[in-house]
Amino acid sequence: MNSQSVIHTGGQVATLTHLQRLEAESIQIMREVVATADNPVMLYSVGKDSACMLHLAKKAFYPAPPPFPLLHVDTTWKFRAMYELRDRAAAAAGMELIVHHNPEAMEKGINPFDHGSLHTDMWKTDGLKQALTKFNFDVAFGGARRDEEKSRAKERVFSFRSANHRWDPKNQRPELWKLYNTRKGKGESIRVFPLSNWTELDIWQYIHLENIDIVPLYFSEPRPVVERDGLLIMVDDERFPLREGEVPMMKSVRFRTLGCYPLTGAVESNARTLPEVIQEMLLTTTSERQGRAIDHDQSASMEKKKQEGYF
């Protein structure tokens, strides 16, 4: 299916569909970055939003490959299936893949079982800052959407970060029309969110329509899980420390979001195809982020994380 072509018969041109309009907008944003940035990079987290963003990048610069590398800020605790897709997708796009591990977290053996929120802080938040500084990236694409969470509803498409990567909500620039002010001072950087106006359903529909390669974990399959604190956690490798009496059960589960496997809750499901996933999503009655442990402490936690430099 070619979502770019316009339906036209006998001189009558139809209005662009919502996905065509969103696609054109995202492409416009990406090109604006490439035309004005010194050293851009695309943050790639291997989730469905990243997959969508990567696909849009291929379209934006075709027939050239996207003129920037992919950066995966890894925690070493992602699902194995994510690492497989990551390497495959980067190669298919003809892009350089940079994988960054926070050396300090590596050395201290930071993990989600023993270190709680320190795990995210060190691997992801600190890791991202290290990588951006190390490679001197001035603009980083991220796959965040405004519909994900209340505090993101007001997020700019071009989000400015100080030289020490902090987000200052008081100092964001007004964005009019599609005129993005891409100027920045020495050491400052910009996070750019080309998917700002997409919703979860838009993403799924686009993946379906464009046949985009995504991690199979989004589809249901019998997988070994244990139940902890109300979440179904998949035992993805031998590093998973089972508690006393805990035995992994095989359940038909899938994931609505993907992160570090010990922190990501699965949902019981029979959705094995994309249409079935979309069907389940449309019929579902809980919002997307419920499966992520990070949000559960306090509703303002995302805002706080963002100010600290987490995406």
Partner 1 sequence: MNHEMKNPVYVTDALISQDIDAYLLKHQHKTMLRFITCGSVDDGKSTLIGRLLYDSKMIFEDQLASLENDSKAVGTQGGEIDFALLVDGLAAEREQGITIDVAYRFFATDKRKFIVADTPGHEQYTRNMVTGASTADLAVILIDARQGVLTQTRRHSYLVNLLGIKNVVLAVNKMDLVDYSAERFYDIVADYSHFAKQIGMDSFLPIPISGLKGDNIVSHSDNMHWYQGPTLLGHLEEAPVSDTRMMDQPFRMAVQWVNRPNLDFRGFAGQVGAGMVRPGDAIRVLPSGKTTTVKSIVTYDGDLDLAVAGQSVTITFADEIDCSRGDVIVQADQPCEVADQFEATLVWMAEQEMLPGRPYLLKIGTQTVTATVTEPKYEVNVNTLEHLASKTLGLNAIGVVNISTDRPIPFEAYAQNPDLGGFILIDRMTNATVAAGMIHFALRRSQNIHWQALDVNREAHAALKNQKPAVVWFTGLSGSGKSTIANIVEKKLHALGKHTFLLDGDNIRHGLNRDLGFTDADRVENIRRVGEVARLMTDAGLIVLTAFISPFRSERQMVRDLMAPGEFVEVFVDTPLEVAEARDVKGLYKKARSGQLKNFTGIDSPYEQPQNAELTVNTVELTPEDAAERIVQYVLREMS
Within 247-266, which residues bind partner 1 (CB under 8 A)? none
Handedness of CA 123, 128, 134, 135 (dihedral sign): positive
Number of residues that bind partner 1 (CB under 8 A): 71
Query: Quick one: residue 136, left, alpha or beta (phi over 0 = left, psi -120 to 50 = alpha)?
Result: left
**Residues numbered 217-236 forming contacts with partner 1, rule: CB under 8 A:** none
User: 225 CB contacts (<8 Å, ≥6 apart)?
Assistant: 232, 233, 234, 235, 248, 249, 250, 251, 253, 266
Kindly identify the residues of this chain, within the stretch 263-282, that bind partner 1 according to CB under 8 A.
Answer: 275-276, 278-279, 282
- Amino acid letter, residue 211: N
**Listed ranges 54-62, 75-83, 243-251, 256-264: which one lies at the site for partner 1 (CB under 8 A):** 54-62
Asked whether position 301 contacts partner 1 by CB under 8 A, the answer is no
Pull the structure tokens for residue 8.
Answer: 């036209």
R_g over Cα of the chain: 20
Sign of the CA dihedral running 54, 60, 63, 69? negative
**Residue among 136 and 273 whose Cβ is closer to partner 1:** 273
Selected from 39, 61, 69, 87, the binder of partner 1 by CB under 8 A is 61
Instruction: Give the number of other CB atoms < 10 A from CB of residue 115.
Output: 16
Site string for partner 1, 77-116 (x = CB under 8 A): ----------------------------------------
Minimal distance in Å, beta carbon 256 to partner 1?
12
Among positions 157-216, residues that touch partner 1 (CB under 8 A) are 169-170, 172-179, 181, 183-185, 196-197, 199, 201-202, 205, 208-209
